[in-house]
């Protein structure tokens, strides 16, 4: 069995699975139950001046019968007294010395940062996470994403935290920016030991069309919230990969956003995350999802022949590049497995209305449509809509053209194959 021990910016945990700062990491009893279930670390629900929350405060996107594919909240930071939180953190650390406890913090003035960091360190916590990401409520008070969107302020507060902290400092970044790079670099310049990303995405989850008010409704009004859950994974993966592949960025990443199972976690690790944090899926399904995550990761590592989880961190970075470096001569076409095809014709409709009009009814077999390979551009749409797993595959065509990217074509005159599907 592979070694799952994780070191993320100097914070050591028995495995890479951490609870994200959120309701599942709100109290000592919860975090201890999570550790008993198998979680390797927990980022405590953000501490600062305790706030008053609204009711209601959560919403969800349901799509195609799948409940809560995306999740949204207008909750703020902790609403529990600071001394209660600190006493519970100290107790968790005393009882679970090998697990990672990271204290998430959000305050305003330099003095407040100094005071809260000292109190956090006194608990015996393993690290701090600076919450520069919350996109609702706290940003209106000049904190959260208001800091995360301003590289100068991010760098300055990070440097205060580093000055006052004797334990590792992670900076949690907001995705509510055009480009994540300046923000990751600001944290790095401030001395951060690592970054965590992403926090939630500014959003309105839905509108109550009978009461004429967005959701979640607080009496007769609502406000924008933060989007998270499975639906945000692609955005989070992109930001994680952007930072990880940047040659000037060289501090560890804790990946967050839409992780629902071990595969999602592996994807984040392959794109550069040393640890992975989970919030929404735990809120929806409970702490025990970590059992499958640990088992799945172990099996994956064994099957691929890796001795430790850390070996896969960043493995997919060389495979992530600019569009201009992709091989324009690489060619695939769709092939239908006539045995497993159920003749639903979803691929025909999709290709005709949304792609290149090259899957047609088959005069010889009413059930299985045929692909006109000379016209197929290998876009994948038919495979995406086909309800039968592995029924449609995209198969490489040996077209005789040497690999050539757009950049090579522009700079070196590399020869491109004739275009398909532009009739
Ligand atoms: C109800 C709720 C409360 C949250 N509270 C915090 C918080 O106090 N501090 C923080 O840094 N992030 C907070 N988050 C953001 C999560 O830690 C996490 O970054 C985000 O939900 C994306 O992960 P997920 O897709 O696994 O949920 C909260 C998220 C939710 C849903
Ligand atoms: S890969 Fe695209 S173009 Fe080719 S058959 Fe499928 S949908 Fe049509
Ligand atoms: S979508 Fe899949 S199952 Fe349906 S007709 Fe096309 S190939 Fe067959």
Domain map (residue ranges) of the chain: 6-312, 323-412
Q: How confident is the model at residue 148 (pLDDT cuts 50, 70, 90)?
A: confident
Q: Is the CB of 359 under 6 A from ligand 2?
A: yes
Q: Is the CB of 197 under 6 A from ligand 1?
A: no
Q: Is the CB of 388 under 6 A from ligand 3?
A: yes
Q: Is the CB of 175 under 6 A from ligand 1?
A: no
Element (H, E) at 226: strand 225-228
Question: Does pLDDT of 140 surpass 80?
Answer: no
Q: Is the CB of 342 under 6 A from ligand 3?
A: yes
Query: Contacts for 33-37 with beta carbons within 8 Å, 24 or more apart?
Result: 33/287, 34/282, 34/287, 34/290, 35/92, 35/96, 35/99, 37/287, 37/288, 37/290, 37/291
Q: Is the CB of 370 under 6 A from ligand 3?
A: no
**130-136 average pLDDT score:** 83
pTM of the model: 0.96
CA 162-155-6 angle, to 5 degrees, is 55
**Which of 388, 389, 390, 393 should be mutated for ligand 3, with most atoms under 8 A from CB?**
388
Q: Is the CB of 350 under 6 A from ligand 3?
A: no
pLDDT at 296: 98
**30-51 average pLDDT score:** 96
- C-alpha of residue 422 to centroid of ligand 2, in Å: 13
Biggest CA-to-CA distance, the chain: 79
pLDDT at 316: 98
For residue 72, the ligand 1 atom closest to its alpha carbon is 31
Evaluate whether 330 touches 378 at the Cβ level (below 8 Å).
no
Q: Could you say which architecture CATH assigns to the domain 323-412?
A: 2-Layer Sandwich (3.30)
Q: What is the pLDDT of residues 391-403, one digit of tens each?
A: 999 999 999 999 9
Q: Is the CB of 68 under 6 A from ligand 1?
A: no
Among 134, 240, 347, 382, the one annotated catalytic = 134
- C-alpha of residue 228 to centroid of ligand 1, in Å: 7
pLDDT at 357: 96
For residue 371, the ligand 2 atom closest to its alpha carbon is 5
Is residue 8 annotated as part of the catalytic site, yes or no? no
Evaluate whether 330 touches 404 at the Cβ level (below 8 Å).
no
Note the Cα 320 to chain centre separation in Å: 16
pLDDT at 217: 95
Q: Is the CB of 172 under 6 A from ligand 1?
A: yes
**148-177 average pLDDT score:** 96
Identify the residue whose tokens are 């300046």.
Answer: 182
Instruction: With H, G, I as helix, E, B as strand and everything else as coil, classify residue 235.
Output: helix
CA 207-213-218 angle, to 5 degrees, is 110
Q: What is the pLDDT of residues 193-241, one digit of tens each?
A: 999 999 999 999 999 999 999 999 999 999 999 999 999 999 999 999 9
CA 116-122-126 angle, to 5 degrees, is 95
**11-24 average pLDDT score:** 98
**108-117 average pLDDT score:** 96
- C-alpha of residue 374 to centroid of ligand 3, in Å: 19
Relative to the alpha carbon of 381, which ligand is closest?
A: 2
Instruction: With H, G, I as helix, E, B as strand and everything else as coil, classify residue 288.
Output: coil
Q: What is the pLDDT of residues 56-88, one digit of tens each?
A: 999 999 888 777 899 999 999 999 999 999 999
Dihedral sign (CA 354, 356, 359, 363):
positive
Evaluate whether 58 touches 191 at the Cβ level (below 8 Å).
no
Dihedral sign (CA 74, 76, 81, 86):
positive
pLDDT at 380: 97
Residues 6+ apart with CB under 8 A from 364: none
The mean pLDDT of the chain is 96
- C-alpha of residue 345 to centroid of ligand 3, in Å: 5
Identify the residue whose tokens are 């690790």.
Answer: 269
For 48-75, what is the HEC assignment? CCCCCCCCCCEEEEEECCEEEEEEEECC
Question: Does pLDDT of 423 surpass 70?
Answer: no
Q: For the structural domain made of 6-312, what CATH number should be given?
A: 3.20.20.70
Rounded CA separation 321/326 (Å): 8
- C-alpha of residue 417 to centroid of ligand 2, in Å: 18
Evaluate whether 185 touches 151 at the Cβ level (below 8 Å).
yes
- C-alpha of residue 232 to centroid of ligand 3, in Å: 29
**Which of 333, 368, 375, 382 should be mutated for ligand 2, with most atoms under 8 A from CB?**
382
pLDDT at 284: 96
Q: How confident is the model at residue 135 (pLDDT cuts 50, 70, 90)?
A: confident
pLDDT at 66: 75
**Which of 17, 18, 20 should be mutated for ligand 1, with most atoms under 8 A from CB?**
20
pLDDT at 291: 98
CA proximity to 77, closest of 40, 105, 118, 56: 105
Q: How confident is the model at residue 133 (pLDDT cuts 50, 70, 90)?
A: confident
Lowest mean pLDDT among 52-66, 136-150, 364-378, 409-423: 136-150
pLDDT at 348: 98
pLDDT at 47: 97
Note the Cα 397 to chain centre separation in Å: 34
Q: Are strands 194-197 and 169-172 parallel, antiparallel or unpaired?
A: parallel
Rounded CA separation 288/374 (Å): 50
Q: Is the CB of 391 under 6 A from ligand 2?
A: no
pLDDT at 242: 98
- C-alpha of residue 40 to centroid of ligand 1, in Å: 18
Rounded CA separation 31/29 (Å): 6
Question: Does pLDDT of 39 surpass 90?
Answer: yes
pLDDT at 138: 72
Question: Does pLDDT of 90 surpass 70?
Answer: yes
Relative to the alpha carbon of 17, which ligand is closest?
A: 1
pLDDT at 209: 97
**310-330 average pLDDT score:** 98
């Amino acid at each position: 069995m592979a070694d799952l021990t994780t070191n993320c910016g100097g914070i050591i945990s028995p495995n890479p699975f951490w609870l994200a700062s959120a309701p599942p990491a709100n109290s000592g009893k919860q975090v201890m139950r999570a550790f008993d279930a198998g979680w390797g670390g927990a980022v405590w629900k953000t501490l600062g001046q305790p706030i008053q929350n609204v009711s209601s405060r959560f919403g969800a996107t349901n799509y195609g019968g799948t409940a809560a594919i995306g999740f949204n909240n207008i909750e703020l930071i902790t609403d529990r007294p600071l001394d209660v939180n600190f006493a519970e953190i100290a107790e968790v650390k005393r009882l679970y010395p090998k697990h990672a406890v990271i204290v998430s913090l959000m305050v305003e003035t330099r003095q407040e940062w100094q005071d809260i960091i000292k109190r956090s360190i006194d608990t015996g916590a393993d690290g701090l996470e600076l919450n520069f990401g919350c996109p609702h409520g706290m940003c209106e008070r000049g904190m959260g994403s208001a800091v995360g969107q301003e590289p100068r302020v991010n760098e300055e507060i990070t440097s205060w935290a580093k000055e006052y902290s004797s334990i590792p400092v992670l900076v949690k970044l907001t995705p509510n920016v055009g480009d994540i790079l300046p923000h990751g670099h600001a944290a790095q310049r401030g001395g951060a030991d690592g970054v965590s990303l992403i926090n939630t995405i500014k959003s309105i989850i839905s509108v109550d069309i009978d009461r004429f008010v967005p959701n979640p409704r607080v009496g007769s009004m609502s406000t924008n919230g933060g989007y998270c859950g499975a639906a945000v994974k692609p955005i989070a993966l992109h930001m994680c990969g952007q930072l990880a592949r940047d040659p000037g960025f060289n501090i560890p990443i804790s990946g967050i956003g839409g992780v629902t199972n071990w595969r999602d976690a592996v994807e984040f690790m392959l794109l550069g995350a040393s640890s992975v944090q989970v919030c929404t899926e735990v809120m929806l399904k409970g702490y025990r999802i970590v059992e499958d995550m640990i088992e799945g990761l172990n099996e994956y590592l064994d099957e691929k022949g890796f001795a430790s989880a850390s070996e896969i961190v960043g493995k997919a970075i060389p495979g992530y590049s600019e569009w201009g470096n992709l091989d324009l001569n690489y060619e695939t076409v769709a092939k239908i497995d006539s045995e497993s095809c159920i003749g639903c014709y979803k691929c025909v409709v999709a290709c005709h209305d949304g792609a290149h009009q090259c899957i047609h009814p088959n005069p010889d077999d009413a059930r299985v449509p045929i692909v006109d390979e000379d016209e197929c551009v290998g876009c994948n749409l038919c495979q995406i809509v086909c309800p039968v797993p592995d029924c449609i595959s995209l198969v490489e065509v040996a077209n005789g053209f040497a690999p050539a990217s757009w950049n090579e074509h522009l700079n070196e005159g590399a020869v491109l194959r004739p275009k398909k599907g532009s009739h």
